[in-house]
Amino acid sequence: MPLRARLKASLPSTATILAGGPLWGILMALSAATSLYAQDRLWLSADLDILGLYFVGGLIGWVLALPFARFCAAGRRPETRFAAWLLWLAIGTIGVTAGLFALQYRSFYSQWHAPFLSRIWVYQLVFTSASAVYQFAVIGLRLFMPLGFMLLIATSAIMARRMR
């Protein structure tokens, strides 16, 4: 498929964005809620914030992953379409959720950081963000398991099938 046609095919419809984004966000929040419930800690006040973080991470992750997945899947065989959706939806959802976690983490620790744009501030920003992403990888990814992984596989299969 020529590049121009692939680019045109990668543009998602408004309905796919408006319906899919909130739905994927709800599913990711449901995944986090299921994990928290399994740990007997779903209704702590901080856990409602976590559900909001996973909802917004899923919503924005869907919107960002959609054109990339469609670009890689356009005009390809079914298993390639499935792999493209699996890869980009996972990268988008996890990446955005980790980024939002890092922003929240940074905003908490910023009260003890050096003045804005100083050399020390840049170091603090980089290492605080890296620490937040690492902490999310160790602790936060668990909340996507096992339901989020199953939903990722099911959604990837559905979206790959829709792109015939």
Mean confidence (pLDDT) of the chain: 93
Stretch 120-131: mean pLDDT, rounded? 95
pLDDT tens digit string along 131-159?
999 999 999 999 999 999 999 999 999 99
The C-alpha torsion from 156 through 84 and 50 to 101, rounded to 10°, is 180
Q: DSSP letters along the chain, please?
A: --HHHHHHHHPPPHHHHHHHHHHHHHHHHHHHHHHHHHTT-TTSHHHHHHHHHHHHHHHHHHHHHHHHHHHHHTT--HHHHHHHHHHHHHHHHHHHHHHHHHHHHHHHHGGGSPSTTSHHHHHHHHHHHHHHHHHIIIIIGGGGTTHHHHHHHHHHHHHHHHT-
Domain boundaries, the chain: 3-97+143-162
Q: Is the per-residue pLDDT at 106 higher than 80?
A: yes
Among positive and negative, which fits the CA dihedral 159, 81, 94, 59? negative
The confidence score (pLDDT) of residue 56 equals 98
Residues 6+ apart with CB under 8 A from 126: none
Instruction: Give the percent of the chain with pLDDT over 70.
Output: 100
